[in-house]
Homo-oligomer: A and B are copies of this chain.
């Protein structure tokens, strides 16, 4: 069971296009901070804030190797949010509608011709 505060932070971390773009870049491999954050057209302090939000959410991990800061997706950093938003309960109504439709079709087909 994922802590509610962790879910708050993960969803908030995903709620900005630059942060989502950083996560997508990191999906393939660990990157330097520069590689992960170049060409967004925003200031360095803004980039730092985005990285801090991602780190505090546990979505990324920073690896400091001398003067090189590399970042990577945290193992399972997004799992709680993915599981919450994918939970069957939230999508159950749709399954119910399909089941109702299939049931009504079955009933129609079972009826003798009038």
Contacts and interface: CB of A to CB of B under 8 A. Distances in A.
Interface stretch (A32-40, A43-51, A81-89, A100-108): A81-89
Q: Max chain B CB contacts within 10 Å: which of A9, A15, A23, A75? A: A15
A92 B78 CA distance: 13
- Is the contact region of chain A dominated by helix, strand, or loop, or is it mixed? helix
Interface residues of A, number: 30
A20 B4 CA distance: 10
Given A23-B90, A27-B91, A75-B94, 13 more contacts: A4-B17, A7-B14, A7-B17, A7-B20, A8-B15, A8-B17, A11-B15, A12-B12, A24-B89, A28-B89, A28-B93, A82-B85, A85-B85
